[in-house]
Chain A
Amino acid sequence: MVEAGTHEKGDVFVSIEDGKREVIIKSKLERLYGEAIRDTVEELTRGIEAKIIVEDSGALDWVLRARLEAAIRKYGGEKV
């Protein structure tokens, strides 16, 4: 399993682990940005066959993109 991000306010925590593709999203801003978060997560993780957990504490979209990208690279074994 790989992780990126934190649970601090304004940040988002992402983890990816082996398994059937499954995307679990929890956000404090579900009512206001649930759809936008889901769109970004789907866009960036398309084709990744793994269990993806996103726990959002109010991150801006570019923060979410950065955390997702970091987690995906770690999961793919890329050295940063």
Chain B
Amino acid sequence: MFERRLYHHIDWVLIGAVLAICAVGLAMIYSTTGGAGRVYWTQVYALGLGLIAMAIAVSIDYRSLADKSHWLYFAMMILLVGVLFFGSVRGGSRRWIELGVFNLQPSEFAKATLALMLAKMLGEERRPALTNNDLLIAAGLTAVPFLIIARQPDLGTAITLLPILFVIAYVAGMPMKYIYAMLIVAVLAAPIGYKFALKDYQRERISTFLDPSSDPKGAGYQQIQARITVGSGGMMGKGFMGGTQGQLRFLPVAHNDFIFSVLAEEQGLLGVLVALGLYFFVIMRALDAARLAKDRLGAYLVLGVLASFTFQVLYNITMSAGLAPVKGLTLPLMSYGGSSLIATLAGFGLILNVRMRRFTN
């Protein structure tokens, strides 16, 4: 099924940029964990597995995948529910399936699955204009994994599903009035939600975000330390493995959620601009794949995958500068985390897949 000529249409530039980001991530993990330790090698292996996953995602025609998307979706839901019952517990939440050497986090793979499902549903050729009914079904399909993952509880990952729905619905022609309506509801509901829907610790995070110094030792600590980490980097940074905030653990989970802060500290504004440029380039290049896609299905699939990726990148980097409430969201491609890396690379495999098959029938 992998025709030889397709090989010439693979977007090597995008792969190169993605791998460059992975390399930066590996270097930062190496730096913050003090050398080639267990964490570093785990990430290296995950990168290898991720490339295999990417190759698989490229090789199977996305249209065949889309045809099976409801089965994939169904299987994923079962897996997620299974995690709720049989997953291993760490840090108070049940997200992982133990696979001996590896712990798999199925929710990471739920993103691509949902993107495929929604793209298939809303992007099928021959379908008439988007109806409210379609939107409701799409919302329902999103809500199921959202609620399951939120139950783990892992609100951070659950929230990354929402951009998939919104972006696909948006490009699929969701009327603008709905978008405006949603914005208005969001603005009005925010204070009510703050008061009633959020748990105490969540409220605390938001209020300390608005005034971190109100609790410099508790919830505001990470945020203050994030700003200090970034700000003290300056233009040129403190040098590879030369950071103090990350190296001396003033910033918690530096190799994970706050890896970009460490990059800013050690490589300075120059490193930040290079990394931001790489991400921006990757996103723009991937958007090109959507524009060039042969069909709506391909375009929506690319956008769905890209939506959660872009959201996560923007949110994580904002948070690592201490400009957003601290949330357990990793930086895709850079943060430590095998499942995330493999799932993200598989997602990029789908994007490459769509672009590669833009001339095929």
Do chains A and B interact in one complex?
Answer: no
